Amino acid sequence: MTQATAPVPIAVNFHLYKPCNYRCRFCFATYRDIDGHLPLADAKALLRALREAGAEKLNFAGGEPTLHPQIGELVAEAKALGFVTTLITNGARLDLLLDHHAHQIDWVGISVDSGIEQIQAELGRGRGAHVERSRRHAARVHALGIGLKLNTVVTALNWQEDMHALLRELRPARWKVFQVLAIAGQNDGDVEPLLIDRASFRAFVDRHQDLAAEGLGPVAEDNDAMTDSYAMIDPLGRFYGNHGGRYVYSPPILEVGVAAALAHVDFEVRRLIERGGLYLWRR
């Protein structure tokens, strides 16, 4: 693939840090096969390379990105480069980040899979206070004028749940709903009891479809929709994709360039558009 024909990674998920304070049983970003993360200077160089390649929106993810020791500096750098900045977080150190960098954050995506504390704890999200903490974070994000997203993974423990009340309380501008995904080397050995079929996932989505009339309807992604539709970067600065239920990694982006690295995975802009990945993200 030549530079001229290489797809532009319009929106990038930078999973910049492996550590996490939670142990979600379904997590498909555990990076059991990776040690370490990019030094700050390299991480900033990676952001510049992505921006020069045409990337517009940068999602900081993990692990848990707020645990990264230089997350504030990286958010500031991304904003200075002109990115739309997003944080996908369980809220671990979100308050501290907002204290100093709220003006450089466009969106905060909070991961909430259930309105029931016991279900969240059974899934591995904390020990029984995750929903209440998410309520508090959502209120602060709204008060600061930052866009609020909600991310929900649908599993065997929550596919029959009715989340209308929680959605109406939190009122996210965007609600992403994912079918739990099995990835060898990431969540095997933990995820199997949580897997559901597409019909169960569809039942959860259909149950909440009426929320669309209130601007709260789910943006649904089953396992097929998630495949090859995300430009994802691992903590070592490599693009990666899901091939046959296992991650495949590119050479380091800073060594070979954005286009050459992206050519090693099957990211397709068409699939990003089909899953609703392009929206009015500039606020």
20 is catalytic: yes
- Domains of the chain are 11-149+227-274 (3.20.20.70)
Note if 55 is an active site residue. Answer: no
Query: Binning pLDDT at 50, 70 and 90, where does residue 101 land?
Result: very high
The pLDDT of residue 7 is 73
Are 180 and 155 within 8 A, CB to CB?
Answer: yes
User: 255 an active-site residue?
Assistant: no
pLDDT at 227 exceeding the cut of 90 = no
Residues 194-208: pLDDT tens digits?
Answer: 999 999 999 999 999
Query: Catalytic: which of 11, 16, 20, 194?
Result: 20
Q: How far apart are CA 155 and CA 178, in angstroms?
A: 9
Out of 6, 12, 16, 27, which one is annotated catalytic? 27
Higher pLDDT residue, 8 or 122? 122
Strands 231-233 and 239-243: antiparallel
pLDDT value at 79 more than 80: yes
Say what the pTM is. 0.92
Q: Rg for the chain (alpha carbons), in Å? A: 18
Among 6, 11, 12, 24, the one annotated catalytic: 24
Residues 6+ apart with CB under 8 A from 247: 33, 183, 185, 186, 240, 241
